[in-house]
Structure 1
Amino acid sequence: MSRVTQSLVLALLGGVVLWISGFSTSYLNYVKPGFRPFLVGAGVVLVVLGVAGLFTKRKHDHGHGHGHGVAWLLCLPVFAILLVAPPALGSFAAARSQAPALPKRDPGAFAPLAGGGPVDMPIGEFIGRAWDDDKKSLTGRAVRLTGFVVPARRGGEWYVTRMQIACCAADAFALKVLVKGIKAPPRDTWVEVTGTWVPHTFGKMPNGLIYPELAGTRLARVPAPAEPYE
């Protein structure tokens, strides 16, 4: 790869990183919000290195423009990142995700649920309270969960789902709650579903992957959030 090609790719890649992290929320499809300053800094460094390389080459190489066409072709993947940015992980990834066992929490770590109306709750918290809260604080309480739709293997049932990440989309796994009593919206639709926890009837957690259940009472379609992961 020529010096010009390297500089062009660096400058363009840096510009794309700057755009998605500094001037939009697209970066949240790939990493947690805390990584934004690092992405902005990396974008600035790449742009500076790329521009510096182009000017250095221009000073030491007068009139030699061969290979620039190939250089622009090599930059096409960089433009693709900007123009056709992949969306956040959805039902395809969630359906294939085998969620690891969430760490068991101290039952006293769950704060009492305040208010009398539906409680907006992260799906991860709902799962924690469903399995680990000895006080059964979810019993009889209306909660509202926000996530996207993943069809269940059993006909007609579906999960309200949110992907959780530790740092980036590469380590994502699915948090799912089985919704009962409401017809499944189309796959990948973002929804707010209101309902009450269905207490489990088994004494000891059975083997295999078991999801908590929600008896749905109300469903509303919502836009995909700017921050799609929990």
Structure 2
Amino acid sequence: MATRLLGVGITAAIAVVTIVLAATGSLALYINPDGSWFAIGMAVVALTGCVASFAIPLGREAEHDHDHGHVAQAPARRAAGAVAGAVGGTIALVVVAAALLLPPASLSAQTAMDRDLGVTPLFGGDDVIALATTGDTATFGVGDWASVFATAPDSRLYEGTTVTLTGFVTPSKSGGGSQLTRLVVTHCVIDAQPASVPLVELASSEETGQWVSVTGTVEANSAGDLVVRATEVTPIDEPADPYEY
């Protein structure tokens, strides 16, 4: 009974947390909103399975514990299974406790800096470049511009473009200066990658991790690299949805 209640309890707790996060609009802090329907559907299936499991008589699963000619090894296998179950159960309980006790929170600026390898991931690829050359960049976020800056075949195609971007301030890995950063999520926060665009003339009062709205112009610096010359920087609170997708 204890084993069954542990399994059912952990499954039900995770399912309920998933549904509550979705109902309160906080599920996007952990997964891409495009995948919310799948997470919610699986949570409902899990809860249904938890209820249905009580229709199975206790001990029924033991009827399938056959030795298949390895009688001498059965006790060892059962002992190993018990240890593995205890370890797995402990890990699962820690995960459930964290989900229940800790408030929903986004990944920090420090996490973004830790994941920054100094190489810009290409979030948009060819589609971003093709769209940028048409001048239709109104919907571009930090991730889109980071891809454009990293792959621009000719900086003159983008110079003079006015941008308004939202992100948090991080120090540049290439030396002095600051950059505007967002975490880009493909499926969930586990695969979140930092995207950054270099800023010129950012007010020195903006500390690392401060969320800001930046209005500026794309230009090429003396090295021919694209940067955003900030004309207006406004500190803001972290947005309800802090990621790009």
2:233 corresponds to which letter in structure 1? L
Determine if the alignment matches structure 1 residue 149 to structure 2 residue 169: yes
Greater helix fraction, Structure 1 or Structure 2: 2
CA positional deviation for 1:106: 7.9
Q: 1:50 is matched with which residue?
A: 50
**How big is the alpha-carbon RMSD for the aligned residues of Structure 1 and Structure 2?**
3.3
Checking the alignment, whether the CA contact within 8 Å between 2:120 and 2:195 is kept in structure 1 is no
Q: 1:112 is matched with which residue?
A: 135
Alignment equivalent of 2:156, drawn from 107, 115, 136: 136
Determine if the alignment matches structure 1 residue 220 to structure 2 residue 242: no
CA distance in 1, matches of 2:140, 2:230: 14
CA distance in 2, matches of 1:83, 1:136: 52
Determine if the alignment matches structure 1 residue 2 to structure 2 residue 28: no
CA positional deviation for 1:225: 2.6
Alignment equivalent of 1:84, drawn from 81, 97, 102: 102
1:6-21 map, 5 Å: 6-21=7-22
Larger Rg: 2
1:21-32 map, 5 Å: 21=22, 23-32=23-32
SS of 2:44's equivalent in the other structure is helix
2:101 corresponds to which letter in structure 1? L
Gapped runs of 5+ residues in structure 2? 60-88
CA positional deviation for 1:176: 0.6
SS of 1:4's equivalent in the other structure is helix
User: TM-score of the superposition, structure 1-length normalised?
Assistant: 0.73
Determine if the alignment matches structure 1 residue 196 to structure 2 residue 212: no
Q: 1:208 is matched with which residue?
A: none
Gapped runs of 5+ residues in structure 1? 62-70, 204-210
CA positional deviation for 1:152: 3.1
Q: 1:177 is matched with which residue?
A: 197
Overall identity of the aligned pairs, in %: 25
CA positional deviation for 1:144: 0.9
Structure-2 change in CA distance of 1:222 and 1:159 (3 Å): same
CA distance in 2, matches of 1:39, 1:48: 14
Checking the alignment, whether the CA contact within 8 Å between 1:95 and 1:150 is kept in structure 2 is yes
Q: 1:65 is matched with which residue?
A: none
Checking the alignment, whether the CA contact within 8 Å between 2:162 and 2:215 is kept in structure 1 is yes
Q: 2:67 is matched with which residue?
A: none
User: TM-score of the superposition, structure 2-length normalised?
Assistant: 0.69
CA positional deviation for 1:85: 4.1
Deviations 1:100-150 (A, max 9, x none): 552456854323258xxxx56311232344442647343223211111121
Corresponding residue pairs, total: 206
CA distance in 2, matches of 1:87, 1:108: 35
Structure-2 change in CA distance of 1:133 and 1:37 (3 Å): same
Structure-2 change in CA distance of 1:202 and 1:221 (3 Å): closer
CA positional deviation for 1:84: 0.9
2:162 corresponds to which letter in structure 1? A
CA positional deviation for 1:180: 1.9
CA positional deviation for 1:170: 1.9
Alignment equivalent of 2:112, drawn from 79, 82, 94: 94
Structure-2 change in CA distance of 1:221 and 1:48 (3 Å): same
Checking the alignment, whether the CA contact within 8 Å between 1:149 and 1:159 is kept in structure 2 is yes
CA positional deviation for 1:227: 2.7
